[in-house]
Amino acid sequence: MSYFKQAGIEYKAITKMEDWQKLIEEGPENAVVVFMHGEVMPIPTKYGEDYEAFYRDLARLVKDRGWILVAPVGLFTWVIGNSETVGYTKEVDGASVSAFREALGLPPINPWCDANAQISELGDTVSRVLGIEIPSSVDAARAIAVGGDMEPLWYFYKVPENVKTAEFDGVKKPFYAVAAWKAGKGVLVWGGLGGGDEMKKAAITTVVVAYILDPTLAEKTPPPPPPITPEKVYTYALIVFVVLMLAALIVVIIKGRK
């Protein structure tokens, strides 16, 4: 959350399932929703264990109401969870992933990457404009390759095609991490990031959200890199402490998108 403040991003953290259910029922237009809980999809209790019905409703909000879903980490929707009807976590494997993909109307995907991805020119430029450092290479364990003719709207990381590709009907397709895929009026930003430094993943997520809110960041000239000052070192240490104290299972709603 500290990175969000650094980037000037206003947000609302949702920590209660009833508030998440209310948001889905109200369905405000053009919401930017950031999932901060890895592979677990919080499913409102009214759905019981019927995750397919929930995904149909969530997909409708993306396609018809213009929601942008940002899922930075892991194999998104591999697990569902709530404290009342399915338990804090219930693994439903690939069936859950497929159900959500199909509800969005996306082609088949291959999420079994297990390789490192390299930063794109877009990702590098936006991060430097914001003054938020993100890694040039990331563990993209669950980056996705997408079948058919679909290409990402944009991406921050890509696995070199000489390292790994996926084959669909005899056609080799690249793996993308932290990439935006169009679905109706909305977008799914699939991160697919693996293990490693949580601060780096928080920084990447912040840069992504900032770019979603202001695409002109890609057109700006990055400032020269600032020197590392004692104050900056102290700030980094403080941010690490704060992040370690945060709860993991939250959904963040970004304010300010028109």
Q: What is the pLDDT of residues 193-211, one digit of tens each?
A: 998 888 999 999 999 999 9
**Of 49, 3, 65, 8, nearest to 57 (Cα)?**
65
Q: Roughly what angle, to the nearest 10 degrees, separates helices 93-104 and 51-65?
A: 30
Structure tokens at 12: 């609302």
- Those residues whose C-beta lies under 8 Å from the C-beta of residue 35, and which sit 6 or more positions away, are 41, 69, 70, 71, 72, 76, 251
Give me the mean pLDDT over the 29-52 stretch. Answer: 90
Residue 84's pLDDT band (cuts 50, 70, 90): confident
**pLDDT higher than 80, residue 250:** no
Give me the mean pLDDT over the 61-67 stretch. Answer: 97
- Report how far residue 118's alpha carbon sits from residue 157's, in angstroms, rounded to the nearest whole number: 5
| pLDDT (0 to 100) of residue 244 | 42
Give me the mean pLDDT over the 36-58 stretch. Answer: 89
% of the chain residues with pLDDT over 70: 86
**pLDDT higher than 80, residue 256:** no
- Report how far residue 218's alpha carbon sits from residue 215's, in angstroms, rounded to the nearest whole number: 6
Structure tokens at 82: 């709530």
**pLDDT higher than 70, residue 228:** no
Q: What is the rounded end-to-end Cα distance, in angstroms, of the chain?
A: 21
Average per-residue pLDDT for the chain: 87
Give me the mean pLDDT over the 105-116 stretch. Answer: 95
Structure tokens at 181: 């895929």
Structure tokens at 127: 């991060």
**Of all residues in the chain, what percent are helix, strand and coil, respectively (each to 5)?**
35, 25, 40
3-state secondary structure of 148: coil
- Report how far residue 135's alpha carbon sits from residue 15's, in angstroms, rounded to the nearest whole number: 29
Answer for the pair 132, 207: CB distance below 8 angstroms, yes or no: yes
- Report how far residue 54's alpha carbon sits from residue 100's, in angstroms, rounded to the nearest whole number: 9
Give me the mean pLDDT over the 76-103 stretch. Answer: 84
Type of residue at 135: P
| pLDDT (0 to 100) of residue 226 | 61
| pLDDT (0 to 100) of residue 172 | 97
| pLDDT (0 to 100) of residue 232 | 57
Q: What are phi and psi of 158, to 5 degrees?
A: -145, 140
pLDDT in tens, 151-177: 999 999 999 999 999 999 999 999 999
| pLDDT (0 to 100) of residue 5 | 81
Q: Which residues pair with 174 in a beta bridge?
A: 165
Higher-pLDDT residue of 50, 176: 176
Type of residue at 95: A
% of the chain residues with pLDDT over 90: 63
